[in-house]
Amino acid sequence: MFPRLKTSLICALGLAALAAPVNAQPRPPQDAPSAEDKARMEAHRAQMARDLHILLRLRPDQEAAWKAFDAAMAPPEPPPSREPGAAGPDLSATTPQRLDEMAKHRAEGDARRAKAEAALRTFYAALSPDQQQAFDALGRLAGPMGHGPMGPGPRGRGPGGPDGHGGPGEGGPPPPPRD
């Protein structure tokens, strides 16, 4: 074998061996949104709810179903953030214990989604046929997963192209293949 290639391979293997333990470390928790971010998100959600209320021209007899729907669609409260230096995830947990914890979180999410789905069905049933048609049209305008009619834009923001990519620049369509 060539001496340079052999040296390069040994160096690459050594670096890979050093990098493996670093990659195996648990990721630190993401920072919770600031109070300002929370307020901005809640204001946006409230404005969207008011807009939907206006667009559907809800009648007074539909208010109870609307309020139940709006409450069910509110995002869940985030878990309390841990203080710096507080204990992180239980690293001594066994695989079955971690699987049980994941199943618990999945069941909680399923329960939240079932509650929201039931509230949506009740609200939709309370709408007139014209309101149902408008509600359905608004859903189509939101596009798949609420990303707008053209799919997600660059980094999930704004309008995108038919393939879900944004326009030119960062996050734009992939470059053409090279020959």
Residue 88 resides in a domain: no
Whole-number average pLDDT of the chain: 74
Residue 121 resides in a domain: yes
In this predicted structure, what is the pLDDT of residue 76?
80
* pTM of the predicted model as reported, rounded to 2 decimal places: 0.56
- Confidence class of residue 160 from pLDDT cuts 50, 70 and 90? very low
Residue 130 resides in a domain: yes
pLDDT: which is higher, 102 or 153: 102
Q: Are 148 and 137 in contact (CB under 8 A)?
A: no
Residue 55 resides in a domain: yes
Residue 156 resides in a domain: no
The yes-or-no verdict on residue 38 having pLDDT over 60 is yes
- Confidence class of residue 57 from pLDDT cuts 50, 70 and 90? very high
User: Interior CA angle at 146 toward 43 and 105, to 5°?
Assistant: 80
Mean pLDDT of 42-68: 91
Residue 70 resides in a domain: yes
**What does residue 172 show for φ and ψ, rounded to 5 degrees?**
-75, -170
Residue 82 resides in a domain: no
Q: What percent of the chain has pLDDT over 90?
A: 28
Residue 7 resides in a domain: no
Domain that holds residue 65: 40-75+94-148
pLDDT tens digits, residue range 76-134? 876 665 555 555 567 788 999 999 999 999 999 999 999 999 999 999 999 999 999 99
* Amino acid residing at 113: R
| Domain count for the chain | 1
